[in-house]
Amino acid sequence: MTPPEAPAHGTSEHPDVVRLLDADGSLSPSAAAEAYLPYIEALDDADLKTFYRDMAVIRAFDQQATHLQRQGQLALWPPSFGQEAAQVGSARAARAQDHLFPSYREHAVCRIRGVDPVDIIRLMRGLTHGGWDPADPKNGNTHIYTLVLGAQALHATGLAMGMVFDGRSGTGDPDRDAAVIVYYGDGASSQGDVHEAMVFAASYRTPEVFFLQNNHWAISVPVATQSRAPLVQRGTGYGIPSVQVDGNDVLASYAVTRRALDEARGGDGPRAIEALTYRMGAHTTSDDPTKYRTSDEEQSWARRDPIARMRAYLEGRGASAAFFADVEAESRAVADDARVRTNALGGIDAEAMFAHVYSAPHPLIDEQRAWLAAYEATFEGETR
Amino acid sequence: MPIAKALNAGLRAAMSASDRVLLMGEDIGRLGGVFRVTEGLQAEFGERRVLDTPLAESGIVGTAIGLAMGGFRPVIEIQFDGFVFPAFDQITTQLAKITNRHEGAVQMPVVIRIPYGGHIGAVEHHQESPETYFAHTPGLRVVSPSTPNDAYWMIQEAIESPDPVVFLEPKARYWQKGEVDLTAPAVPLHASRVVRRGTDVTLVGHGAMVTTLLQAAALAESEGTSCEVVDVRSLSPVDYGPLLDSVRRTGRMVYAQEAPGFVSLGSEIAATVTEKAFYALEAPVLRVSGFDTPFPAAKLEGVYLPDPDRILEAVDRALAY
């Protein structure tokens, strides 16, 4: 079968796409962005610098994790390289009471909400299937990664339904009202669970933002194979107001998510965002993108690099060289810390296999745990 | 009262005891479910507690997972056994594993009610026995009541469970009447139970098959063979205590089930009983099951489903060793 021709997917240059920063870093709102300017005008220099810092630090961490995988310390690493603006903008738009459901590449989202990046490494190193408790205050209501594509869209929707039932959204008190963001990609947008989640979300008017990062490739399959129409139109079909944003523009990503979350929290029902971005790295460290995409394409996206763009913008606003040097030092420190602590991660006790299969006692598990312990004991004093 | 009414009463009791208990499913509200198990509950508890969901099984299970994360105790109805498969991914890769993936920090008190099994002459996908798929999945508990009293108590125990429970309702017995004792202490959820005493052969099964086993035992008695009947009740975990005690007394066992026999609950129980009671056995553990074919068109279900005659044929074989 011949592959489908590229459909009319939006590009970040289209006037309907919300974009605040030009590729060269000047503030140059697209037609669709005018309504979002107040969200940016409300930010001060410190906020803007935080966005930059978030992006730069997570990129350094991400590169370190990629190296660690190459050195055999991790089983796998899914790089976030290139997608920093979509993640940082959206996560910085959330309030403390909001819940975030990542897929498996949202390293920047996790770090912003307080999750220890080494907890993500523990997952990819094979020490856990989760790694953190979303309800622990230090994790900022960030749920664990889900590797089954799109499955978390339904969990997010169910949690948001519960917020409606408990009167935790739409009360008119923005400090108390809560919402949910669910992250997924262009590949996952083909999964039935994402569609069913949109049906439930629209029907129960959940306080929820569907945040689709269209990074243009589902491993080796281009987005044109996932959809003949711009993915932003999917939400509209379910009755969910939807917007397309330049996902390599951290200001635009922040503004559209901020507004969508405000509306969702306020009781207006779900919202959908398609962030146009690009996975600069491989899908995971097991992947070889040179087999399916051209260097021309990669270079054209490199010219729209989210970090370089924000740096140019901040420099235009007078940010000092000392600031950038400080960010670089922090980035190095976070990356070095990740390396040191990863190398120090120990093994795992076999007992962990039997823990938490069930919450209540289970005779079969108990029997097998006891059997293994007795079996292991027969090797005592021997080297296995 | 019949099993359907006992389940209704059990659901009502659980919903009255905690306002975190929610019912979700297709047509369970205004209609009361296609088998009327939830009849009247939406009128009593409101649309927020008894949800007529969109027609999307994966969506029902997946959103119930999110609701459980938010502190609710969702009780889902899957309309028919054969329609659980669109939700299979959410049940097996998500619901069953979420507590484990969170290292115990998140519990999943979700109950999935599934009317299952044959005997009602229905069309394709309406008479399946999917229990093995779920019993094979670590993290899930699987139970099936066979009497109104068990239905009333087990549904409440399942809702109280911090772990997800696949609750298989023998649809052929929905209208079978029996006493419900509202005061006596309930049998624990994961306990098997001797339902008829006997000395020659132990007959074992679950769900609708328990009634068939009792019919077979009555016929055997008229021919001079004394059969003990054990209702497994809990398919995961299996409570082997009463079962092994019985086999050690009778020395013979026949397992009967509607599901295909290959890699089934009967296979598992036969293997375990053989391991644990080998020297007590006078004959191999025999299985009577549905054939390893798709559930046949309704006009053939009488041939497919184990009936008292097929069970007695196995009893005769066991006694011939």
Query: B94 vs A148: CB contact, 8 Å cut-off?
Result: yes
Query: B94 vs A155: CB contact, 8 Å cut-off?
Result: yes
Query: A158 vs B141: CB contact, 8 Å cut-off?
Result: no
Reading the block at residue A318, the tokens are: 């007078």
Q: What is the pLDDT of residue B55?
A: 97
Q: For residue A109, give every residue at least 6 positions away whose Cβ sits within 8 Å of its Cβ, in sequence order, or none.
A: A87, A90, A91, A100, A102, A142, A183
In this complex, which of A144, A157, A199 lies closest to B66 when CB atoms are compared? A157
Q: What is the pLDDT of residue A10?
A: 59
Do A140 and A114 form a contact (C-beta atoms < 8 A)? yes
Q: Which amino acid is at B82?
A: G
Model pLDDT for residues A15-40, shown as the tens digit of each residue: 899 999 998 899 999 999 999 999 99
- Tens-digit pLDDT profile for chain B (321 aa)? 999 999 999 999 999 999 999 999 999 999 999 999 999 999 999 999 999 999 999 999 999 999 999 999 999 999 999 999 999 999 999 999 999 999 999 999 999 999 999 999 999 999 999 999 999 999 999 999 999 999 999 999 999 999 999 999 999 999 999 999 998 888 999 999 999 999 999 999 999 999 999 999 999 999 999 999 999 999 999 999 999 999 999 999 999 999 999 999 999 999 999 999 999 999 999 999 999 999 999 999 999 999 999 999 999 999 999
Give A227-286 as a DSSP string: -SS-THHHHHHTT--EEEEETT-HHHHHHHHHHHHHHIIIII--EEEEEE----S-SSTT
In this complex, which of B93, B105, B238 lies closest to A135 when CB atoms are compared? B105
Is the CA virtual torsion A43, A106, A284, A191 positive or negative? negative
Q: Which residues of B38-64 are buried (b: 16+ CB within 10 A; e: fewer)?
A: beebbeebeeebbbbbeebbbbbbbbb
Rounded to two decimals, the ipTM of the complex is 0.95
Q: For residue A16, give every residue at least 6 positions away whose Cβ sits within 8 Å of its Cβ, in sequence order, or none.
A: A10, A30, A31, A32, A244
CA B167 to chain centre: 6
Instruction: Lay out the sheet containing A242-246: strands in order across.
Output: A99-101, A180-185, A208-214, A271-276, A242-246
In this complex, which of B54, B100, B139 lies closest to A203 when CB atoms are compared? B54
Query: A129 vs B94: CB contact, 8 Å cut-off?
Result: no
Q: What is the pLDDT of residue A3?
A: 45
Cross-strand partners of B115? B169
Cross-strand partners of A243? A273
Q: For residue A252, give every residue at least 6 positions away whose Cβ sits within 8 Å of its Cβ, in sequence order, or none.
A: A18, A19, A20, A21, A33, A36, A89, A245, A246
Helix (H) or strand (E) segment spanning residue B3: helix B3-17
Model pLDDT for residues A174-197, shown as the tens digit of each residue: 999 999 999 999 999 999 999 999
Query: B59 vs A154: CB contact, 8 Å cut-off?
Result: yes
Q: What is the pLDDT of residue A5?
A: 47
Residues of B in Cβ contact (< 8 Å) with A356: 99-100, 102-104
Q: What is the pLDDT of residue A380?
A: 84
Query: B99 vs A161: CB contact, 8 Å cut-off?
Result: no
Query: A197 vs B59: CB contact, 8 Å cut-off?
Result: yes
Q: Which of B126, B136, B190, B206 is catalytic?
A: B126
Cα(B205)–Cα(B290) distance, rounded to whole angstroms? 13
Query: B101 vs A130: CB contact, 8 Å cut-off?
Result: yes
Residues of A in Cβ contact (< 8 Å) with B103: 128, 130, 133, 355-356
SS3 B20: coil
Is A303 catalytic? The answer is no
Nearest to B152 by CA among B118, B119, B187: B187
Is A195 catalytic? The answer is no
Is the CA virtual torsion B34, B37, B39, B44 positive or negative? negative
Query: A133 vs B103: CB contact, 8 Å cut-off?
Result: yes
Cα(B234)–Cα(B146) distance, rounded to whole angstroms? 11
Instruction: Lay out the sheet containing B227-231: strands in order across.
Output: B193-196, B227-231, B201-205, B253-260, B286-290
Cross-strand partners of B236? B142
- Tens-digit pLDDT profile for chain A (384 aa)? 444 444 445 577 788 999 999 988 999 999 999 999 999 999 999 999 999 999 999 999 999 999 999 999 999 999 999 999 999 999 999 999 999 999 999 999 999 999 999 999 999 999 999 989 999 999 999 999 999 999 999 999 999 999 999 999 999 999 999 999 999 999 999 999 999 999 999 999 999 999 999 999 999 999 999 999 999 999 999 999 999 999 999 999 999 999 999 999 999 999 999 999 999 999 998 899 999 999 999 999 999 999 999 999 999 999 999 999 999 999 999 999 999 999 999 999 999 999 999 999 999 999 999 999 999 999 987 765
The CA distance from A84 to the nearest CA of chain B, in Å, is: 26
- With CA atoms as reference, the chain A residue closest to B91 would be A151
Q: Looking up tokens 């998500």, which residue turns up?
A: B94
- HSE-up of A13 (CA within 13 Å, CB side)? 6
Q: For residue B194, give every residue at least 6 positions away whose Cβ sits within 8 Å of its Cβ, in sequence order, or none.
A: B228, B229, B230, B242, B246
The CA distance from B157 to the nearest CA of chain A, in Å, is: 12
B227-231 vs B165-170, strand pairing mode: unpaired
Q: What is the pLDDT of residue A1?
A: 44
Q: Which of A129, A176, A228, A292 is catalytic?
A: A292
In this complex, which of B66, B97, B161 lies closest to A161 when CB atoms are compared? B66
Nearest to B259 by CA among B157, B86, B133: B133
| Chain pair A-B, CB pairs under 8 angstroms | 134
Is A279 catalytic? The answer is yes
Cα(B248)–Cα(B96) distance, rounded to whole angstroms? 35
- With CA atoms as reference, the chain A residue closest to B104 would be A356
pTM of the model: 0.96
In this complex, which of B69, B139, B162 lies closest to A155 when CB atoms are compared? B69
Q: What is the pLDDT of residue A7?
A: 43
The CA distance from B107 to the nearest CA of chain A, in Å, is: 7
SS3 B114: strand
